[in-house]
Amino acid sequence: MSADRQRRELQMFDGAGLCQDLLDLIHDAVLAFDSTGTILYWNQGAERIYGWSRDQMLGQSLSLIQWDTSDTEHTVTDHSDAIWAGELHHRDRTGALLIMESRQIKRDGLGDIPDHILSINRNVTATRALQMQLKAHALELERSNAELESFARIASHDLREPLRMIGSYAKLLNRRYRDHLDEDGAEFLDYVVDGAERMSTMIRDLLHVARFGSEAIDLQPVNLNDVLAEVQSDLALMIKDEKASISVSELPTVDGDRSQLRRVFQNLIENSLKYRGTAAPTIQIDAERLLDIWKIEVRDNGPGIDGDDLNRIFVPFARGRRSEKVRGTGTGLAVARKIIHGHGGRIWAESEPGHGAVFYVTLPDRRQGDRI
């Protein structure tokens, strides 16, 4: 490094009150260049990122680190007094691509120090690569889900007609010829009728699962207090028959699809009513705001859920070990999970066998100014 170049570098920074040692502690690349693209300053962060030393780079052209030398790097005339921020494609000493988040500001010259641009560049190459991978995985997952949903709809449609014929003829046989069958024959026919009805219900529920994964969500303000009131009204007969007690704390207003969120809480309450213990069902619903999300919990006093089943119960048709005596297809929680995921939230369960279960639902708080 020439004595003149070293003097200019020290004047540019130490003379302006900036400490050379402090700049060298910065992990980002700090450099300066004039209107011709000549590099005037190069800190240790730049040495680590680009691979060239300060002595090697001072006085060199900025084109040395440009990925495409035909591109015009920002010059002094490109900048106003404001800070420019953007993304640049550079290369290191090995020729590898570097994606840099850059913030640049024009500084006026002083004495024999020319007008120049001070640039702070952060290496985000690995971050961008990870983002690209995540985006590719998300697109592949979206494509795979779309194929599965399409298959479910087509398969369900193709199954319904032959199943309808089986059910119809089984019922016809039951009406016309039951008196001609012995006890075993009548029992076998009942199995056919019941099996056809259960299969029809499963196909219908499979279509529901597929539909909730593909429907667009119409985000509107939804008062969850009103939603829970409607759900309790719809389930009034079941609540009365089970002698259940339901307590609902003050709940928030969230942005969501009203009918879909109503389906979620109806499924959760029905679940607590159906999978009850020996005591009358008691269900408590509360909400808590955590930073930028709402956390809603549905707690019951039922028999609880085995630890191995806590994740399994959200899979379509996968029912818990304690559900053998409860009629149903096991799609209610799967539908609830698809709806909540579609709203950008989470749903999970926690439980100790014999001590009830708690279902947690989180939803984004897109209404930051609102409070319960």
In tens digits, the chain (372 residues) has pLDDT values of 555 655 555 455 554 445 677 787 889 999 999 888 899 999 999 999 999 999 999 999 999 998 876 554 444 445 555 688 889 999 999 999 999 999 998 887 666 667 888 899 999 999 999 889 888 888 887 787 777 677 767 766 677 778 888 888 888 988 898 888 898 888 888 888 888 887 777 777 777 666 665 566 778 999 999 999 999 999 999 999 999 999 999 999 999 989 889 999 999 999 899 888 788 999 999 999 998 899 999 999 988 888 778 888 888 766 655 555 555 566 788 889 988 988 989 999 998 888 889 999 999 987 664 444
Question: Cα–chain-centroid distance for residue 293?
Answer: 13
Distances from the Cα of 69 to the Cα of 64, 73, 110, 161, 368, angstroms: 8, 9, 30, 66, 47
What is the CATH code for 125-214?
1.10.287.130
Select 3-123's CATH number: 3.40.50.2000, 3.40.50.1370, 3.40.50.2300, 3.30.450.20: 3.30.450.20
Residues forming a β-bridge with 104: 84, 119
Question: Cα–chain-centroid distance for residue 166?
Answer: 43
| Same-fold call for 125-214 versus 218-372 | no
Quickly name the fold that domain 218-372 has: Heat Shock Protein 90 (3.30.565)
The closest of 320, 270, 278 to 298, measured between CA atoms, is 270
The closest of 80, 84, 117, 116 to 101, measured between CA atoms, is 84
Distances from the Cα of 327 to the Cα of 198, 201, 270, 315, 320, angstroms: 10, 11, 12, 17, 12
| CB-CB contact of 117 with 38 (8 Å) | no
pTM as predicted = 0.53
Two tokens, residue 243: 């002698």
**Residue extents of the structural domains in the chain:** 3-123, 125-214, 218-372
Contacts of 357 (CB under 8 A, 6+ apart): 272, 299, 300, 302, 304, 305, 349, 350, 351
User: DSSP letters along 325-361, please?
Assistant: TS-S-S-HHHHHHHHHHHTT-EEEEEE-TTS-EEEEE
Number of helices (H) and strands (E), helices first, in the chain? 10, 12
Question: How high is the pLDDT of residue 200?
Answer: 78
